[in-house]
Amino acid sequence: MKKLKHRAGKTVVFSFLINLCIILGLTFSAKCQLFDAMCECGTEKADSLYNDCKYEEAKIEYSKFIDYEKGTTFYFAMTMLAKCHAVQQSPKDSVFKYLFIVVNESKMFRFVDISDCVFDSYRHFPEWEEITKTAIEKTFVGKTQNEIDLALMIGSDQKYRGLSPCKIDFLKEKQGIKDIWALQRKIDEENEAVILKYFLDLKNDISSFKIKGSAYAGFMLVLWHSSLNVLKKMKPFMKKAFLEGKVKPEDYALYIDKLRVNKGKKQLYGTQYCPNKETKKMELAPIKNIKKLSKRKLKIGIKTE
């Protein structure tokens, strides 16, 4: 049996970086590149074939990792085999047999792995309910329902964002979806309603705001993609939460800049990028009094070089 060489602490670093990829909205390719760099899994060829819509060839390559010791690479390959079959609209057993292995056996399983839109046509089967139940129980041990709801929004927030051309074609041709962005916006509105209700239930009691880890990431991710109306409603809470150390300085800066840019104002901390109408490229949005940028960042606790 082939064995992978694992570095000490690699799993922890890997998990952190993959979650960072999700939060930053990196493409599938970028996630895989980072994944490969961390676990030395060598799935670059298979990943490339998947991205090029060569699913039969990709399945052959991913299948080569079935004999690996059950670790990072093995479960990643299992997940990708399930995705290949899902994109090809294979019989449900061809998809579920891999997902059951990942959900039941992997200690590194993340619920977001089964949030991919390629699995949408399989969610009505009873097996999917079993997979979801097992995944939630395994991923969110000891968590409150609010924490679970917020954490699950990581997957839904990214469902139709950063899609590869192949996935876009799949959704349009295989699933008949015409307006992908409209679907994502509907999900965003549902997520916005969840975070608004959550914070209304707190009744401005910041001491009750104790979410961490994936729940915190889910909350911030949804907030970053929220409408101007929601951003405005959250301002009093965000300011108070930041001052009491419940929200990280970097996240508070992102929130303030997002709010200001959406209002048509110049940002304060240099976190927001906007498309140039002429070049179509992303450029740093205008910054208010840029000479005082470092001073403003230091004032709220962001270290500068």
The residue that leads in pLDDT, 111 or 157, is: 157
Q: How confident is the model at residue 279 (pLDDT cuts 50, 70, 90)?
A: confident
Sorted by sequence, the CB contacts under 8 Å of residue 301 that are 6+ apart come out as 249
Residue 1 covered by a domain: no
pLDDT reading at 169 higher than 50: yes
Task: Look at residue 142 in the predicted model and tell me its pLDDT.
Answer: 84
Last residue of one domain, picked from the residues 139, 157, 177 = 139
Side-chain-side CA neighbours of 55 within 13 Å: the count stands at 16
Structure tokens at 1: 């049996």
- Percentage of the residues of the chain whose pLDDT score is greater than 70: 83
Quick check: 14 and 39 in contact, CB under 8 A?
yes
Last residue of one domain, picked from the residues 139, 156, 180 = 139
How many folded domains does the chain comprise? 3
DSSP states along 22-51: HHHT--HHHHHHHHHHHH----HHHHHHHH
Residue 220 covered by a domain: yes
Residue 243 covered by a domain: no
Structure tokens at 233: 């409603």
Task: Look at residue 111 in the predicted model and tell me its pLDDT.
Answer: 65
Residue 3 covered by a domain: no
Residue 299 covered by a domain: yes
pLDDT reading at 178 higher than 60: yes
Quick check: 131 and 99 in contact, CB under 8 A?
yes
Last residue of one domain, picked from the residues 237, 256, 290 = 237
pLDDT reading at 292 higher than 60: yes
Give the C-alpha distances (Å, rounded to integers) separating 296 from 46, 255, 261, 267. Answer: 46, 15, 17, 11
The residue that leads in pLDDT, 257 or 150, is: 257
Least confident of 13-22, 170-179, 220-229: 13-22
- Domain match, 15 and 43 both: yes
- Domain match, 207 and 259 both: no
Task: Look at residue 85 in the predicted model and tell me its pLDDT.
Answer: 95
pLDDT reading at 144 higher than 70: yes
Domain enclosing residue 205, as ranges = 142-237
Task: Look at residue 83 in the predicted model and tell me its pLDDT.
Answer: 93
- Domain match, 289 and 204 both: no
- Domain match, 204 and 275 both: no
Q: Write the pLDDT tens digit of every residue in 60-73.
A: 999 998 877 777 88
Q: Is 54 exposed, middle or buried (0-12, 13-18, 19+ CB in 10 A)?
A: middle
- Domain match, 21 and 116 both: yes
Residue 26 covered by a domain: yes
User: Of 117, 99, 121, 111, which Cα lies nearest the Cα of 161?
Assistant: 117
- Domain match, 18 and 126 both: yes
Quick check: 17 and 34 in contact, CB under 8 A?
yes
Q: How confident is the model at residue 110 (pLDDT cuts 50, 70, 90)?
A: low
- Domain match, 226 and 113 both: no
DSSP-based helix, strand, coil % in the chain, nearest 5: 65, 5, 30
